[in-house]
Amino acid sequence: MDIGQKVQLRRLRDRVSKKLASRLGQTGTIRDFKMTDGSGVGVLVKFEDGFTTWFFEDELAPA
């Protein structure tokens, strides 16, 4: 995965708000990466409506 790449939200690991769950299947653009509380890497995704949040890499698929 690279910054600027389009990705689709394909699953969510944890329980989330209905607002975030409604984004399943939507496409966004990778904006940055972040370290998670282990040795994992999170992916910061910006959706078409401007909403931005991070996901684990296995929650995303290339679009």
**pLDDT for residue 38 is more than 90:** no
User: How many domains are contained in the chain?
Assistant: 1
Do residues 44 and 52 touch, judged by C-beta distance below 8 A?
Answer: yes
d(Cα 52, Cα 12) in Å, to the nearest integer? 15
Q: Is there a domain that residue 45 lies in?
A: yes
Q: Cα-flanking dihedrals φ and ψ of residue 58, to 5°? A: -75, -5
Which range of residues forms the domain containing residue 58? Answer: 6-62
* pLDDT single digits (tens) 4-34: 999 999 999 889 999 999 999 999 999 999 9
- Sign of the CA dihedral running 16, 10, 56, 2: negative
**Cβ neighbourhood burial of 35 (10 Å; 0-12, 13-18, 19+):** exposed
Q: Is there a domain that residue 1 lies in?
A: no
